[in-house]
Structure 1
Amino acid sequence: MKKLFAALILASPFLLNAAHAATAQQNKMTTCNKEAGDKKGGERQAFMKECLSAKPKVSDAQKAQQDKMKTCNAEAKDKKGDERKKFMSACLKKA
């Protein structure tokens, strides 16, 4: 019984991630289905393939934050521990 309980505890993060991934895919499928509307046959199939394979769009703000993170990370490459945390915090707060 203890082994089963321990196995469930160890597996729970993986189960939660799998459940989240399934939910995200289900949401995407629902959205694409609504957007497909009255399309039929090959037209619908092509639309669904394109819609389901589309990557989420990254906003300009997200792109700027990613670029800032890359720059700060590169500048902090030699720093460790608290020194790195302080540097990254200050670097990311800069305008």
Structure 2
Amino acid sequence: MAALIPLASLAAEGASCTAASTEKKLAGAAKNSFMKKCEKDAAATCDAAAVEKKIFGAAKNSFTKKCVKDAVG
């Protein structure tokens, strides 16, 4: 769960994975690796948020998809 906190703080600040990669001046394989990990972390965080909000089934899938899209942005 501790690994999810940095992404949650990014989301709280309004920064996205794309913005974070740009800020870190990542390119090529480093950017791809960062984006893949960031998207995976976002999916885990969004799934946890859906469970916390008691969202299940198709609504959970929709919520998670939008949440990850917003986080990766």
Question: TM-score normalised to the size of structure 1?
Answer: 0.39
- If you compute each CA radius of gyration, which structure gives the higher value, 1 or 2? 1
